Structure 1
Amino acid sequence: MARILVVDDEIGIRELLSEILYDEGHTIELAENAAQARAARLRARPDLVLLDIWMPDTDGVSLLKEWSSQGLLDMPVIMMSGHATVDTAVEATRIGAVDFLEKPITLQKLLKTVAAGLARPVVRGSQVTNARMPVERHAFEANQPLVTSSPVMAVADIAPEPNHSLLGSISLDQPLRDARDEFERIYFEYHLGRENHSMTRVSEKTGLERTHLYRKLKQLGIESSRKKNLAS
């Protein structure tokens, strides 16, 4: 599972890419312009960025140059465009982009390019590692607790804890998609209860745009839960 930042000024493209990558198990953060992308990059370095070239405030190539000059290009960046020339794609690659996706983007091409981007080694200071942060994945597979550099921060991040007895009720003797739906149902019901059914706060907590959140709740059969409270 990786944290992917999708930067595109077209809401339809953002939602489509978000939905596809979310269903693949990734955590998605969205930005509609360079300003939001800068803030997202500083807030938490993503494992991979899908960056549109043509945007209203600052184009993607300029933002790529900015990150490179500031030493912030320590994650794979895949450029996207439906109108870019070969020269633009070459320039982006020269600056540091790892690949280029031409719109309209096919599902197979998207997943293949993202997988290749996440598999590429990235430089963080003097160390070289993979975008997927394998140490965290291996700790999960070994069923060992993750150790953070700041115990105080770790406690703050996990409190209050979800009801783990509910998580234990998920049967592992069923198809992955069904098990994932059960987990997502518990996950969203937990956040809805915690945020008093405020869709704005649940959207912020889960990292999903409201339209995607509404669609996901309806898909999971908990649409009625959000109708009980209109505080959002």
Structure 2
Amino acid sequence: MKYLSPILAFVAFLLLNACAKPTFRLIDKPIIFDEERKQLSLEYLAKRHGIQQQQPYIKPKMIVLHWTAVPTLEATFDIFNPSLLPGRPDLQKASRLNTSVPFLVDRDGTIFRLLPDTTFARHCIGLNYCAIGIENIGNNDLTKAQMKANVQLVRYLKRHYKGIEYLIGHYEYKDFIGTPIWKETDPNYLTGKIDPGKSFMRKVRSRVKDLHLKGSPGLGGE
């Protein structure tokens, strides 16, 4: 037959789509970014990074992967949503600005965008001014679906922001101390981090090695 019947054509369509790669999607779930958060962000840039500017946006040079250590999306969203940092007196000494990231990856790999990609967010000491943060729901039990979502998200960000040169785990941030990219006005303002784990970082890096992103200068990307 020259043409497929409508039923056969529909079956062929379903088979082709079943074999296709999953569609990359970002679901917008915005946290509060009011005038207070804007001013606190500009204040943080000035006091912590020594950068004076009029708008709270960054020119990204790196991507930093995290885990939340909080078990659910809803609980994590509630933590990031307020403009003011709840609790954490050790961090409040540096700034009242709440922590946050542009991207949050749920256990099933669903990617939520909390802020526009290049909005300034407080998530990585010394590097916030140039780093896009990705948080993963969970702890040292991150899922295969989350790993795949991080790979997709890293590819998306590198495609859209050509200036991105680095891909690191949060645990690697101190390796940038003493390098030109490090900007923190208080040398004693540091915290210990292990997220998102070396195994998770190796898996993500191995799947985006064609992007030629640099890792930690201290550990050679491990």
- TM norm structure 1: 0.26
Which of structures 1 and 2 has the larger relative contact order (alpha carbons within 8 angstroms, sep 6+)? 2
Q: Pick the structure with more helix per residue.
A: 1
**TM-score of the two chains, using structure 2 as the length reference:** 0.27
